[in-house]
Structure 1
Amino acid sequence: MKGKWVSGLAMLTALSVVGAMIKIPAIVGSVALDAFPALLASVLFGAGAGAIVGAFGHLISALIGGFPLGPLHFLIAGEMALLVWGFGVMYKNTKFLACVVFIIGNSLVAPLPFIYLMNVGFYLGIIPSLLIGSVINTVIAMVAIPRLNSLVSHRLHNQDVKQ
């Protein structure tokens, strides 16, 4: 069971790398389609697994973009892990609220520290790109989750029966 879990996380992290190469035009070049695999992981493998994929996905996206914000990307990776974890926990009860909280958290709340670290202009300038990226990542995840959920739960269930 652990091997399938680790393999699934590795596959979703690799998918996050692919998504990290699809950039959304922004002031900072690290807004990308790297979050949807983390959202998938949080529902398919658990909120903690999604948090791991979310943090690594962001760091890889920032690496591909040249770490434009330097070590601040570790703060963003932590925020991403927290947001994806929250999405996974909330998705069980209400899918719509999980989506709304993730989108608002990722596009409006997560960049708040940059008001103090950079300035208000940077915060206001990055919001449109983050909003578009958050919506696209969430929509892709919401389309893929129902299709993959039955596949993953069926395979995991069959593995448990065989053991």
Structure 2
Amino acid sequence: MSTKKLSLLALFIALSVIGASIKIPAFIGSIALDVFPALLAAVLLGKRMGSIVAGFGHLVSALIAGFPLGPMHLVIAVEMAVIVWFFGVFYQSSKRILAGIFFVISNSFLAPLPFLFTMGEGFYFTILPSLLVGASFNAFLALILIPRFKKMVESSSVKVN
């Protein structure tokens, strides 16, 4: 990995940490904006880099919150990495709306499925509205801002790939 890519990876992880510090109050805990930089990185730096940012971003967000779900945060970090990877696949295939819809559905309904079996239906159905709002907000930001950031990167002298 080149020094430039490593520096950009560190920058996006730092942006994810900043996003993790921005909390939206929710029914259970809060929703962080740690995944938007990962979605951005998946498009600008590649799916693998976006996945790394997503995993680290979630772990930092959980750390800031005090790891309320314990070791389950490792599972969530892996889920986030996979979801962001697929977002990158869809987005780079020029299926931007599908990428956003996939992200919202996956992050809101599929990712919390392990909690259905470990913490019960009550927890699962209580957390769904919060996840839906957070995922929708992050996807909306991504779909609106990624094309603008992409144009800036393409028009600048700094080439990412």
Q: Which bracket does the TM-score occupy, shorter chain normalised?
A: over 0.9
Alignment of 1:11-160 (within 5 A): 11-29=11-29, 31-93=31-93, 94-153=95-154, 154-157=156-159
Aligned partners of 2:107 and 2:64: how far apart in 1?
A: 20
Q: Counterpart amino acid of 1:155?
A: S
Q: Structure 1: which amino acid aligns with 2:131?
A: L
Using the alignment, how far apart are the partners of 1:145 and 1:58 within structure 2? 20
Secondary structure of the equivalent of 1:31?
strand
Q: Deviations over 1:58-114 (max 9, x none)?
A: 000000001000010000000000000000011022000010000000000000110
Match of 2:68, SS state, is: coil
How far did residue 29 of structure 1 move? 2.5
Q: Give the superposition deviation at 1:156.
A: 4.3
> How far off is 1:48 after superposition?
0.5
Decide whether the 8 Å contact of 1:30 with 1:62 is kept in 2.
Answer: no
* Worse-superposed segment, 104-113 or 143-152: 143-152
- Structure 2, unaligned runs of 5 or more: none
Give the TM-score, by structure 2 length.
0.92
Secondary structure class of the residue paired with 1:155: coil
CA–CA distance in structure 1, aligned partners of residues 4 and 131 of structure 2: 33
The residue type paired with residue 144 of structure 1 is: L
CA distance in 1, matches of 2:12, 2:29: 22
TM-score by length of 1: 0.91
Q: Which amino acid aligns with 1:135?
A: S
For residue 2 of structure 1, report the CA deviation from its aligned partner. 1.5
Match of 1:3 in 2: 3
- Write the distance in 2 (CA, Å) between the matches of 1:2 and 1:30: 36
Asked if the contact 1:51/1:85 (under 8 Å) is kept, the reply is yes
Identity of matched residues, %? 54
Paired residues in the alignment total: 159
Structure 1 runs not aligned, ≥5 long:
none
Structure 1 residue 30 displacement after superposition: 5.2
